[in-house]
Amino acid sequence: MTQDELFKVLVAHCKEYGFIFPSSEIYDGLAAVYDYGQMGVELKNNIKRYWWEAMTRLNENVVGIDSCVFMHPKVWVASGHVAAFNDPLIDNKDSKKRYRADVLIEDYLSKIEEKISKEVAKGRKKFGDSFNEEEYRATNPNVLREQKKYDEVHNRYVAAEQANDLNEYRQIILDCKIVCPISGTCNWTDVRQFNLMFSTQISNTGESDDRIYLRPETAQGIFVDYLNVQKTGHMKLPFGIAQIGKAFRNEIVARQFIFRMREFEQMEMEFFCRPGTEMEFFEKWKQNRMKWHVNLGMGAENYRFHDHEKLAHYANAATDIEFNFPFGFKELEGIHSRTDFDLSNHQALCGKKIQYFDPEMGESYVPYCVETSIGVDRMFLAVLSHSYTVEELEGGDSRVVLKIPAPLAPVKVAILPLVKKDGLPELSQEVVNEIKYDFAYQYDEKDSIGKRYRRQDAIGTPFCVTVDNESLQDRCVTVRDRDTMEQVRIPIAELRQHIDEKVNMRGLLRNL
Ligand code: ATP
């Protein structure tokens, strides 16, 4: 299956098994807005819990808050979002489709990179052990030609980005003959800036002063609550404030399922520290966050850091943690050293002192801060795309199984009476009563046991427990493992402990 096909299958699977539905589907949906179904919400909640507990419980100096979506409009002036939270958009006049000009150019550059990688792979195959990649890259004419092309476009692109030169974006698109994937033509409009914030009105007088925004990031809620938390929590620097919540962006191009949505959820943490110590904490949080990801067991090779070449004006260091999605390595989480930009701007605009008195230094200052910011939905997509597996079984059969890390699985255990009679449903109910206070479970007595196993595999349930006639005598049940399909016989009295070892979040957190 190609990566593209896998992505399509995944979207269909999400719908069929109650993970994700298009929003308002009975009215043909709403672009880039999705609902989480009965399975999806459980997985999403587990992801959030893993993050929340790793942040707030495992770090004594990190506390959580829950601020509102609506905030005073001045917040977004101070943060720079009103003036500069823009994307450069361009339309194709033939297909009438809209694109982000920067993304068109970046995709073009990625394709050149791919070509170079393929050339290098060819060389590696040809020369085997004696292959010297550095020398090959420096001498192979195909690689050199592509690299030259890449460097030229990349340099123009970085310069255009820095100068915010929209005409140059368009010129690069024309010069590189980048076509619209729908119409196949180069018939482009000018490039325009487009602010990504949604706005609405707080009262009904219709005055323009009433305009407020739906927050495009949760971070500003943390900044404006900084003083309250610091004072009421008697927090000493360095300390962090974590938050999970909805964010809204009017994304121009939203065609990648839950990778880029208009309403999404973020898990953000701002770590405040003494100016001059921020790089130490930037490094610490980089390592800490990577460990959190790798700890899930989805393969260290599927993550990489991507350091930013061009820094936002407020940042003095920035990196992304990228994940190997079905459509390639893409940003999953951002880690930024944001200096004192946000707190200083709020201080200037609100006219109140937002400072910390440092008893060791005997002076007050505006703290610096390091941010970690991850999208819940992107994390959901990372888990799901990595977990989706099609396995060939003996006898020519196959099964679709979601190998979701067990502590994140929506349902932990399924209780399945072998038949719907002879007292097995009653005994199964006893088993349910034994485990229901600890684990999310499903009880299923419909269809053959084989079909029921497939249904549980398809939603990623780590354990299936079968209750059979023998169970009535020996009070043991058969427990089938999702990944190995191995079956063991276990006394009902020991079932809870057996399941717990694998699915409890405690084990995951302990390894951090
Ligand atoms: P991108 O470059 O992909 O647009 P970004 O750099 O604008 O992302 P940030 O502003 O750094 O993203 O937001 C932090 C995190 O929030 C991202 O790493 C991502 O996981 C998530 N995120 C941002 N925009 C969206 C979106 N439209 N839909 C889903 N998740 C998003």
Q: What is the CATH number of the domain that holds 60?
A: 3.30.930.10
For ligand 1, what atom is nearest to the CA of residue 379?
A: 20
Same domain, 354 and 443: no
Strand positions, DSSP E, 77-149:
86-91, 98-100
CA of 375 to the centre of ligand 1 (A): 6
Q: Give the total residue count for the chain.
A: 512
CA of 103 to the centre of ligand 1 (A): 14
CA distance 211 to 306: 37
- Using DSSP bridges, classify how beta strands 463-467 and 34-36 pair: parallel, antiparallel or unpaired: unpaired
Amino acid 308: pLDDT: 86
Amino acid 253: pLDDT: 72
Amino acid 156: pLDDT: 94
Within-domain flag for 118: yes
What is the token pair recorded at 431? 């088993």
Task: Name the one residue in this structure whose structure tokens are 């005997």.
Answer: 362
Same domain, 189 and 201: no
Selection from 416, 504, 411 nearest residue 464 by Cα: 416
- Using DSSP bridges, classify how beta strands 356-358 and 263-273 pair: parallel, antiparallel or unpaired: unpaired
Q: Are 402 and 389 in contact (CB under 8 A)?
A: yes
CA of 446 to the centre of ligand 1 (A): 42
| For ligand 1, mutation pick of 107, 286, 331 (most atoms within 8 Å of CB) | 331
Considering the chain, what is the average pLDDT of its residues?
A: 93
Give yes or no for residue 497 having a pLDDT over 80.
yes
Give yes or no for residue 204 having a pLDDT over 70.
no
* 140-177 pLDDT, tens digit each: 999 999 999 999 999 999 899 888 899 999 999 999 99
Nearest CA, atom 18, ligand 1: 333
Same domain, 331 and 226: yes
| For ligand 1, mutation pick of 102, 266, 270 (most atoms within 8 Å of CB) | 266
For ligand 1, what atom is nearest to the CA of residue 251?
A: 27
Within-domain flag for 3: no
CA of 77 to the centre of ligand 1 (A): 20
Half-sphere exposure of 278 (CA within 13 A, CB side): 23
- If phi > 0 it is left, if psi is from -120 to 50 it is alpha, else beta; for residue 252 that is alpha
> Average pLDDT in the 112-127 region?
91
Give yes or no for residue 87 having a pLDDT over 90.
no
Within-domain flag for 343: yes
Q: Whole domain around residue 129: which residue ranges? A: 86-193
Amino acid 206: pLDDT: 59
| For ligand 1, mutation pick of 197, 220, 373 (most atoms within 8 Å of CB) | 373
Query: Which CATH number belongs to the domain containing residue 407 in this structure?
Result: 3.40.50.800
Same domain, 306 and 362: yes
Query: Which CATH number belongs to the domain containing residue 163 in this structure?
Result: 3.30.40.230
Is the backbone peptide bond immediately before 238 cis, with ω within 30 degrees of 0? yes
* 297-332 pLDDT, tens digit each: 999 999 999 998 777 778 889 999 999 998 889 999
Q: How many structural domains does the chain have?
A: 3
* 383-406 pLDDT, tens digit each: 999 999 999 988 888 999 999 999
* 411-439 pLDDT, tens digit each: 999 999 999 998 999 999 999 999 999 99
Same domain, 385 and 338: yes
For ligand 1, what atom is nearest to the CA of residue 254?
A: 27
Structural domain ending residue among the three candidates 129, 164, 193: 193
Within-domain flag for 25: no
Amino acid 471: pLDDT: 95
C-alpha of 166 from chain center: 30
